[in-house]
Structure 1
Amino acid sequence: MSLARAESRRLIKRRFTKVLLIGLLLVLAAVFAGSWFTSEKVGPSQIAAAKAEADGYYQEALRTAATDKQQCLAAAGTPQAANWPANCDELYTPTREDYDYRWYMPATFDLREDFRNMISVFAVVLAAVAFLIGASFVGAEWNSGGMMNLLLWRPQRTRVLGTKLIVFLSWLVGVSVLLGAVWAGLFRVLAEARGTTDKMTSGVWQSFGLMGLRGLGLIVAAGALGFALASLGRHTGMALGALVALGAVQIGVYVMAGLAGFKYPDLLFTPFWIFAVLYKEWVATDYTSCDYSSVAGCRPDTFTMTWQAGSIGVAAVAVLVVAAALWTMRKRDIT
């Protein structure tokens, strides 16, 4: 039996892999169910009800404004006049535009506007699962002594570890693409049944596809990082510990950078990199610097992190950690 086939069977038959996949499906099912039951198809009756509700609030606001104006006029020349403006006509008068009926519409799933967030949820959840499966796949081999036994059969260290990684990432891509297609199909059904598919064009679908590809890149990078970190520490706990330590360090660095006056502390926090990759950009804002303008008011400085920069950063970290794992595989004692 080939090494790749043996590793594929080992990955698929692992109990931890099956448990995580079942958990993944349950989480995704819960997200979809929540979207389904909180969405409602909008028709003429819902629009009429929303307009009636908006008009009711508008009329109530008009009555309140009229009462306030009467009290303001009545207070003239009395001690209570200090509680009102000198000119009662300056009091706020509600307008119809302040009560747009669309704000009172029931929640409905707009495929064009809302599916991007569902792609993001899908990518983040799968990335977390990929990290855990990758870490446990190789970590368990080291912890149980299976790696040493395997190297007696196949003494090529780099080839063994590299084959494990390739098999895992290939399996990960296949599962992600399959689940991604099902995910898109489910939300298309949701939009048709309890939402809207208005303004959907080929360009919008292309944008969804490109976002899905960027999400797939994050999933693969997360799986590779989990695998490599567990291989470096020769234990699944090494990957989990490194993840916790990274989170703690980044939070500390983020806070200290903000206190030290660093212009854009957001750039030091990994979640913002992930956001930039998924949503094409992240705009970091320096609220301590304000360029006042008589026309536009306060304009703080900003820096836009593009998805290209975020992708390069994530890929660079993944490649460096994987390279370190392969290098230590060759140099360290296996026993």
Structure 2
Amino acid sequence: MRQLLAVELTRLRWRRAVLLLLAAAVVVPTLIAATLIWDTRPPSQDDLDAARASAAPEIAQCEKRPGRFGVEDRALCEEQVVGWYTNSQPLKLGQQRSETGLAVVAVLTLLVMLAGTTFAGHDWNSGSMSNQLLFESRRGRVWAAKALVVLVTSFVVSAVMSATYWLALWMVARSRDLKVPDGVLADCLEFALRGSVFGAAAALGAFAMTMLFRSTVATVGVLFGVVLAGSLIFAALGISERWFPHKNVSAIIKDGTRYYVEVPQHCFTDGPIEGSECDQLRELTLVDGSLYYGVLLLGVGTASVLTFRRRDVP
């Protein structure tokens, strides 16, 4: 098995399309980080002086009624109003989890999924699968070796780039003397780890689906259909948000989320009762999301293995 894994890893490393996708997994998060760092750069002293002069009336109003300007302490008024005038907001590490952090996870997941389906699809499109089975006739071992290479490579690439992204932002925040609350970096790295695990599992699912359909185009079509239209179809059918694909992804990556449910009409006439069926927002946990996609992955993987072992290989 070790030799078979080495062969599959070599085949993956020499696949040009896969290398381009993995290169994009390095370049795109780097560009996102560079753009964010540039957009949150501190303004020059001349810009600050000009903004203070222009914003003097608003700063005075804020100091009289800080609550109307979104600050609790009047000492923060100047920083708040000047920030509006300079259009410069400081880099807030924790805030980025729901903004650029999600974008990085989405990009990495998409790229490793495409790498997984391209890796499997090339063997079918080129007809090399039959040649591979001449050297290793046990199809289950061949499937497992390919799947393990895709899974490990996807996780390593996603984890390294995600961790690098957050560490780079943390270092920039420290270099600018911005206060980073205790535990925020650890939370960001945990966010990156959950996103990397999900990305690796998604790449494995894309690989399994391609081995099932024996077509990269079919797999890409199904995946994009689920991503783009899955929630819309569920909504049209009146299915609860609990089962929406994007809600379960959010539950995994964010370590839990909330979803909306329709409540009985008497909740609006009698008044909502906390902790009862009248609660419109329900919790969707990390475990719930993991079970949702775990069952899907298990089903696709099982069907893929069974068909690969029994169907004829051209």
Give the structure-1-normalised TM-score: 0.76
Q: How many pairs does the alignment contain?
A: 294
8 Å contact kept, 2:112–2:154: yes
After alignment, is 50-59 or 312-321 more displaced?
Answer: 50-59
Distance 1:273 1:103, change over 3 A: farther
- The 3-state SS of whatever aligns with 1:303 is strand
Distance 1:41 1:169, change over 3 A: same
- The 3-state SS of whatever aligns with 1:196 is coil
For 1:1-335, list aligned pairs within 5 A: 2-41=3-42, 56-57=57-58, 95-99=65-69, 100=71, 101=77, 103-104=80-81, 105=83, 106-115=88-97, 117-194=99-176, 196-199=178-181, 201=182, 203-247=183-227, 249-257=229-237, 260=238, 265-286=240-261, 291=268, 301-335=280-314
8 Å contact kept, 2:259–2:282: yes
Distance 1:324 1:53, change over 3 A: farther
8 Å contact kept, 1:135–1:230: yes
Distance 1:301 1:207, change over 3 A: same
Identify, as 1 or 2, the structure richer in strand: 1
Structure 2: runs of 5+ lacking an equivalent: 72-76
Distance 1:60 1:215, change over 3 A: closer
Q: Which has the larger radius of gyration?
A: 1
Matched residues in 2 for 1:175 and 1:196: separation? Answer: 29
8 Å contact kept, 1:115–1:187: no
Matched residues in 1 for 2:139 and 2:125: separation? Answer: 17
CA distances 1:286-305 after superposition (whole Å, capped 9, x unpaired): 467664759x9xx8611111
Matched residues in 2 for 1:250 and 1:286: separation? Answer: 18
Deviation at 1:47, TM superposition (A): 8.6
Deviation at 1:221, TM superposition (A): 1.2
Identity %: 23
Deviation at 1:315, TM superposition (A): 1.8
8 Å contact kept, 1:109–1:194: no
